[in-house]
Amino acid sequence: MRYCLLNALGIGAFGTVYRARERNTNRVFAVKVLVRREEPWDVALALAYRGEGEILPKLNHSHIIRCFYSHGWGTPRVEIVLTLMDGTLSSLAESPILPRPLLAKHALHQMLQALDYLSQLGYVHRDVKPDNIFYTILPPSRSGPQQPKHHHHHPSTATTNNSNSTMLLPPPPPPPLHFRLGDFGLCEHEAFIEPGEVRGTMLYMAPELFDEDPGRRGRPRPWQRQTHKSDVWALYVTVLWVLDLDGIWRVARRGECSSEGVGFTFTRNLAARVVVDEERVGALREMARVDPWDRVAAGEVLRGLFGGYGGGGGVPGGWVEELE
């Protein structure tokens, strides 16, 4: 695959993402260039190779970034050719083109599909957050609901683990935005994640990943593995971030979630929020369970809130109004 790098789109700790054009077809892509800079390179490269060199190329889902080609592994310069997107959910939330509740609803619906797909394959992303959720603005002819073709879900009458009533909500209108989950540098199969091995971004880490028993405050917990339930928690916090509930932007910008103790207290507060304020975020309460055994899986939320991938049926009102 021959291509030329154009303008830089973003800069990270170990590399830069460029817009690129394939020479023969003029198709445009994003190319992530990893360049050796410091000692942590070996660790970062090993994680990147596992996540983006081995796992990502195997994945095929409409809400996950595609990896078309990569080369240079084992050298000081690695290039990874990816789907080109318009930006991140993080940048979009700061200058939203949709009302925040509607933006959160679309992002949640599409990311649940991505996480459900990953969990069925046994993978844990381990770094779900607004910076790693990418969007593209769809042309009018393509703005209908995105329907994955590779697997199906049961009808919309399913319920969550912790509720005897169906949490069914009307399907969102045709989205003008298409979201994809990206940055698989920390992704791993659950079978290969060791107890106590914690990767990710502090603000979005689930309670079970901190050094305190989630069910008994002050009591050390046994080491737990990151699982797909950790990704569900991270998506829950991402939705709150888009809505800016609990001053999450302030927390993120001031680094108030910089230690495990502060982080655990913060996550407990997030969980408590849905108990006392269910009128605004009650639809997400099953994602906010402190104990991962009680927390719902992505597919359960998807069926409970949206009736599967494309919806069908529902109750009067809607999730958007519930969050406003």
For the annotated binding site for ATP, the residues are 32
**Cα–Cα distance measured from residue 78 to residue 87, given in angstroms and rounded to the nearest whole number:** 22
Identify the H or E element spanning 261.
Answer: helix 260-276
| Comparison of pLDDT for 124 and 75, the residue scoring more | 124
pLDDT in tens, 114-132: 999 999 999 999 999 999 9
**Lowest mean pLDDT, pick from 58-72, 79-93, 136-150, 310-324:** 310-324
Q: Is the pLDDT of residue 94 over 50?
A: yes
pLDDT of residue 25: 94
Task: Specify the residue for token string 């009736």.
Answer: 307
Q: Where are the alpha helices (DSSP H) in the chain?
A: 41-48, 89-94, 100-121, 228-243, 248-254, 260-276, 278-281, 298-306, 319-323
pLDDT of residue 324: 41
Q: Is the pLDDT of residue 220 over 60?
A: no
Q: Is 101 left (phi over 0), alpha (psi -120 to 50) or beta?
A: alpha
pLDDT of residue 260: 41
pLDDT in tens, 122-180: 999 999 999 999 999 987 665 554 444 444 444 333 444 444 444 556 655 555 899 99
Q: Quote the radius of gyration of the chain (alpha carbons, Å).
A: 20
Give the other-Cβ count within 10 Å of 155's Cβ.
10
| Comparison of pLDDT for 78 and 243, the residue scoring more | 78
Contact assessment for residue 157 and residue 165, using Cβ atoms and an 8 Å cutoff = no
pLDDT of residue 319: 42
**Domains plus CATH for the chain?**
3-82 (3.30.200.20), 87-323 (1.10.510.10)
pTM, to two decimals: 0.78
pLDDT of residue 194: 85
Task: Specify the residue for token string 């993402």.
Answer: 17
pLDDT average, residue stretch 248-264:
52
Backbone angles phi, psi at 182, to 5 degrees: -130, -170
pLDDT average, residue stretch 39-58:
81
Residue 64 DSSP class: B
Contact assessment for residue 287 and residue 236, using Cβ atoms and an 8 Å cutoff = yes
Q: Where are the alpha helices (DSSP H) in 134-227?
A: none
Query: Residue 94 half-sphere exposure, CB side, CA atoms within 13 Å?
Result: 9
Quick one: how far is CA 106 from the chain centroid? Answer: 13
- For 142-288, strand residue ranges (E) read 177-181, 188-189
For the annotated binding site, the residues are 32
Mean pLDDT of the chain: 77
Q: Assign 300 a pLDDT band (cuts: 50, 70, 90).
A: very high
